[in-house]
Structure 1
Amino acid sequence: MAFQSTENYIVSAELALAVNAAVTLEKPLLIKGEPGTGKTRLAEELAQSLGAELIQWYIKSTTKAQHGLYEYDAVSRLRDSQLGSERVQNIANYIKPGKLWQAFTAAKRPVLLIDEIDKADIEFPNDLLHELDQMRFYVHETGEQIIAVARPIVIITSNNEKALPDAFLRRCFFHYIRFPDAEVLRQIVEVHFPQIRQQLLSTALEIFFELRELPGLKKKPSTSELLDWLKLLLAEQIPPEVLQQQQQQGGLMPMFGALLKNEQDVQLVEKLAFIAKRQGR
């Protein structure tokens, strides 16, 4: 396997190398990076390029490692017992397979995405160590052992909201997705908007990077937010001349709500524009 950029997804040479290395080593690939840099999309494109099933496990603050293995519905079994149902004779009727179970028993090697692992409790990654290492786990209620038919390709994403345990990190191949430079970002945009005018794209990218570099910005706009902004500019047929004029004047650009996501950043841009005007810019 040699994963590389697809028609719909541009990857750097470093990211492609990381994917291929993790697959060769049969280790989970831990991907970190700013929100909106395509971490989740990577798993989707990898699965599509391999013709493999994508099994997605979205992590929440309440998610436990056990949820990925299976869940035992004791309440339903108790209710059925009270109603005299014959289903209670087979405890397997109350076992719900989790995402790891689905990945382990897939007929063809799947891609398993464990998305935003840093949202869960700090013990969550450690609780998965044995299963990800051994590719097997034990179902205590039935005495069954689930063993992976084929070792799934595991992609784990993190927004770096909290540190992950060293023991977990040792078992992963790590890659940090750097924010793309102007040339890579241009390629990404042209994948999504192949007919975009180059003058509009150049002006938009210049404004976008100026905005990201503003000191004190609470949330820098991401790649996905740039794409949303361009989609709106194209839908409203805003010409590049309007963007250039707004850039020279300073302040909020058209459709700024696609790029700025909190009132502090909106106020910051307005304040800097006001100061620039007072200084005779």
Structure 2
Amino acid sequence: CKAFCESGDFDEGEFVDDAMTQDELDDGFCLPCQAKPHSDMVLQIRTTSILAKTGPETFQAEVTKVGALSDTVFELELEVEDRERLNFLPGQYVNITVPGSEETRSYSFATGPQEDKIAFLIKNTPNGLMTNWLKNVAKVGDKLKFEGPMGSFFLREPLQPILLLAGGTGLAPVMSIMESLANDELLDVPVRLIYGANTNVDLVRLEEIAAYKDRIADFDFFTVLSQEDDHERKGFVTNHMDPSEHLADGEADAYLCGPPPMVEAVRTYFDGHDTPPLNFYYEKFNANQQPGAKTGEEVAEKAEKTAAKVGV
């Protein structure tokens, strides 16, 4: 029952080293079974999203839109039967059974929890099972099934400035997060997005992203390309982070979804930074699994000098 205390004051109660050490207490951990709050508290706990009342179920859906957004990205939109049963948190994903097979592929919602239809951004993977279905078979009216929602990578209560980092089709859960933030009437923190890709052709939904400038009071974004010499910002997303603008001098909550090299590069950057984010949540895609599959390793990390990890 060990948890990380993001904010709030408490009496730690009595405990033995086998349950929690004094060093862990000093680093911000507590035992909720012993701690007595002196104020409201925010805790990060080691659990799946089942306890957030978004446990996975099996759903039937009908294709309402399918097509290529670019040479490298497909969009799949679905109308879900019993839509009111599907409760998910922005950032979570589902396992879709590829029609005509028993195989599943995992994709994050690219739409907000309140939208009637759901959508996904899917990478064009040559000879991939899902890619072949999308290119050669899929059409409006087709039926499919999926299981979800799943994942502990999701938007927490927006109490600090927010930095969103997206790589490739990792933009999908970030879009879901931004849609939720745009509908949050109490939102009063700045939101920044850095969207990384290889080339111009990999960038999608730019107009929709730009529209959030009118929907979120303090929102801005830019793109970074690793393989375009004439792009305004070239290289990696870490080359273009401003400690004040994007990290809020150590007070930001950072959310990252992208391929393993991007995740590891950002983690290394934060580990060596003087003012890393207050909280760092990330999800990475596992290149060793089937195309489009995720590791299931959504990690919430407290990016301080203690490097204390929670939520694994």
Q: Same fold by TM-score, threshold 0.5 exceeded?
A: no
Which is richer in helix? 1
Q: In proportion to residue count, which structure has more strand?
A: 2
Larger radius of gyration: 1
Query: Which is bigger in relative contact order (C-alpha 8 A, separation at least 6)?
Result: 1
